[in-house]
Amino acid sequence: MACKSLYKGVFDFPHRAYVLCRAAYSPEQAKILMSRTIAKQQGTDNMTVLKWLKENKDRYLIKLEIEWKEEDDERG
């Protein structure tokens, strides 16, 4: 089973900046989770935020902060 990693997102919206961290399996999943939080805080829907992100790719950054990996236990 795969482990979630921790992603950090920095978003530069016109009237407010957001810095969020989310545990996710991929950067794309992290972006969706973060966009839901931003939409809730702005009082709008998730699709509006995702559309803005698609049109303004240079206004946000999502990067891997901590990567967790599952190790096989070979001690038996």
Q: Is residue 75 assigned to a domain?
A: no
At residue 67's C-alpha, the angle toward residues 69 and 76, to 5°, is 15
Question: By residue range, what is the domain housing residue 53?
Answer: 5-66
Structure tokens at 17: 């900046």
Whether residue 54 lies inside any domain: the answer is yes
Tell me the pTM. Answer: 0.88
Classify residue 74: in a domain, yes or no. no
Residue 57 lies in a domain: yes
Q: How many domains in the chain?
A: 1
Phi, psi (5° rounding) for residue 16? -165, 145
pLDDT of residue 71: 78
Spatial CA neighbour of 7 closest among 60, 64, 53: 64
Q: Is residue 32 part of a domain?
A: yes
Q: What is the chain's pLDDT, residue by residue, as a tens digit (76 residues)?
A: 689 999 999 999 999 999 999 999 999 999 999 999 999 999 999 999 999 999 999 999 999 999 988 877 666 5
pLDDT at 2: 83
Q: Is residue 31 part of a domain?
A: yes
